[in-house]
Structure 1
């Protein structure tokens, strides 16, 4: 085969050079009888195309076929390599808690909506850094003597200890209960900068009735304090668990939860999400554990750590983690995050409320949730859930984020559903919750259930 190809190529060169003498020498090098038959079939020696066409299989089709096979094999190898890389990325995130992907279409300037609140790290000492921020935080300063010396320790957060205490304002006889978040000591320059940045983020947000409010701060000297409003009933998840009892008492009044009140709480959460969306932010971890509830069922969204990171850095740090079962598919696949992921999580929140605090996907291990969703499986309708509410849940759980309703559209649908919702039948779940069992099924730590102010 190799010898034949060599002879043919030599002959082609001779023909292209239009040398009849060289053509004769080429013929003498090959099989004389075969070549003579080939030339007799041609009209003349001058018919060079006939000679080339006779061997077009060897000189054109065979090389083309080999190149095609090579390209196909190369494509298969690249596809296998890319699939392996994606599998490694997914497995690195699916360990019960997932790292957060970058935010969608948020640059440094866009995330800050015109300006960053991140304290510039130009100072070389903590004292000089505090001096440079005193003016910016002057309106928020709370004199330390207004804070009671009696501190009730309630949680150890990532930044430091969290206490409940009293703040004395106008009337000393009527102190106000507040949450005091302290920066752990000793704190380095970077920790102080981050703590001040979180205070300024609250200042940038302003006040909203469905967000936990910043009451003030103490940052003129160490130790640093962030003063937040206290919500007496605590987080919504614990409240839902309490509702599982036959009789619930709030401020001495018998209290139960109905379908209409579930819509009432849900609408307030959506108002908070709309507020964040208007500031080009998203929450990133909408769940019952991150909502505080008052006696009149006023809901306040807390846990704004992810929103703070998006605002100050334009993206979420790779170290920030969120329980998998509340995440939208695009978040599990480590794609860019935005408010449409909050819509998915809001559907999970509706499930939590209507089941009085049951963990989502109770039959699915946390590390298998992505494979479960990839098979287009969603949670079944709970027995205590009406078809109207379940339809709202399913609209939040559409695989494509573009197919989900917007926050405002979802709010409108809840308004419509609330008009005909049952306000008499009480939601009932007989089983009491064991926190350790709940944490294992939900894929979160028991410690994270202790108190909701720990995130920010």
Structure 2
């Protein structure tokens, strides 16, 4: 009733022919609605800015997490495999390199090698952004029998973060312990700068270079046979699987199984190296965004950024068998590296090479099953290789007539050609 009176009063104040009276009735809506919309927009903008500022402050308070892609815990492994195993020290309370070295030296006391024992540098193997890698002589208790070792030197000038990472890798090797199919830590020099990591020397070099040399018309060189039979492929493969079983027992995975990351002794004893990913996932629980693994060796779940585990290593092991039986050919030669995921999603795998027996190809295919749980474990695969080796040919050598052009290989394989020029590339 009151509203009707108000309306009547409004209309009585002007003549019926006045058009402004008609507009006045909706005037308040024209003003209020846009004002409400503008206010809501400003509030939303303020919330977005507040969230952005809070994120920036969080990153400043935790700079160690920048540039790191989080990785979920590995399926089927314990929480230790996802990091926080408690075996690698990171005493962050130390604020200088000198105080950090003093605080951590007691834990590494048993590994210390007097610097004067490293008497002679034989050659520089590599000079990278983090430091140089040398082959050197280390004096032993018998002066007449010095030992050849590989020395990794942390580049100077160096900051606290680099020192923490370098010493963390040394203690990770200490945590792993000894295994005949892993490159062994011989000791370290960490009481003062420059810092040294001393490793076992596997002078014959990496498996990929060995495979390429097997393509040449060479029988022996420096005491190492440069011929490879089917039975020897199984022999090398079984040793790599023993190393993987050892890592699995410690709730670890390797993450980069490939011929370039396997070193050979003169008796064809295989030594798995390239444990950088194993260190990062054990210590930090994440894989650094700076770690670049060639796509053609990765299992589908790795390409899809799903949790990684030992069954992913089994997929890569199948690629390793392909590398050996083809004497170092790049995998999926007809597929560009960027298209490998789409190729695998169509459930396509590599065809059987002409030099590969049906038995070996069957083992490869079991490694390349799309479902992780359908692939064999390292122990199961080891038993299959042992059975296959009993009837394998130990007389006819594998032959591939074409020599390898490193630049062409790198382009097809999707790797940097510089990474082919030295061993011990990732320590």
TM-score computed with the length of structure 1 as normaliser: 0.76
Task: Determine if contact 2:87/2:175 at 8 Å carries over to the other structure.
Answer: no
- Structure 1 residue 100: deviation in Å? 8.8
Secondary structure at the aligned position of 1:368 is classed as helix
Which range is displaced more, 306-315 or 190-199? 306-315
Residue 313 of structure 2 corresponds to residue 334 of structure 1: no
CA distance in 1, matches of 2:283, 2:426: 16
How many residues align? The count is 358
CA distance in 1, matches of 2:216, 2:72: 42
Secondary structure at the aligned position of 1:150 is classed as strand
| Equivalent residue for 2:408, pick from 434, 437, 443 | 437
CA distance in 1, matches of 2:421, 2:203: 15
| Equivalent residue for 1:319, pick from 287, 290, 314 | 290
After superposition, where does 1:21-420 map in structure 2 within 5 Å?
A: 101-105=71-75, 109-111=80-82, 115-252=86-223, 255-420=226-391
Q: Deviations over 1:2-34 (max 9, x none)?
A: xxxxxxxxxxxxxxxxxxxxxxxxxxxxxxxxx
Q: Deviations over 1:116-146 (max 9, x none)?
A: 3132221011001000111100110000000
Structure 1 gaps of 5+ residues are 1-98
Task: Determine if contact 1:436/1:446 at 8 Å carries over to the other structure.
Answer: yes
Task: Determine if contact 1:291/1:299 at 8 Å carries over to the other structure.
Answer: yes
Q: Deviations over 1:29-64 (max 9, x none)?
A: xxxxxxxxxxxxxxxxxxxxxxxxxxxxxxxxxxxx
- The equivalent of 1:75 in structure 2 is none
Task: Determine if contact 1:328/1:341 at 8 Å carries over to the other structure.
Answer: yes
CA distance in 1, matches of 2:426, 2:182: 14
Which range is displaced more, 260-269 or 151-160? 151-160
CA distance in 1, matches of 2:359, 2:124: 43
Which range is displaced more, 402-411 or 264-273? 402-411
- The equivalent of 2:396 in structure 1 is 425
Task: Determine if contact 1:157/1:455 at 8 Å carries over to the other structure.
Answer: no
Q: Deviations over 1:130-176 (max 9, x none)?
A: 00111100110000000024351111235211111100111222111
CA distance in 1, matches of 2:289, 2:370: 24
CA distance in 1, matches of 2:134, 2:253: 28
CA distance in 1, matches of 2:413, 2:329: 9
Tell me which structure has the larger Cα radius of gyration: 1
Give the direction of change, closer, same or farther, for the CA distance of 1:134–1:229 in structure 2 (3 Å limit): same
- Structure 1 residue 255: deviation in Å? 4.2
Task: Determine if contact 2:223/2:266 at 8 Å carries over to the other structure.
Answer: no
CA distance in 1, matches of 2:127, 2:166: 15
TM-score computed with the length of structure 2 as normaliser: 0.81
Q: Deviations over 1:264-285 (max 9, x none)?
A: 0000000000000000000000
CA distance in 1, matches of 2:74, 2:129: 26
- Structure 1 residue 252: deviation in Å? 4.3
Task: Determine if contact 1:155/1:163 at 8 Å carries over to the other structure.
Answer: yes
Structure 2 gaps of 5+ residues are 1-68
- The equivalent of 1:450 in structure 2 is 421
CA distance in 1, matches of 2:314, 2:390: 22
Task: Determine if contact 2:131/2:154 at 8 Å carries over to the other structure.
Answer: yes
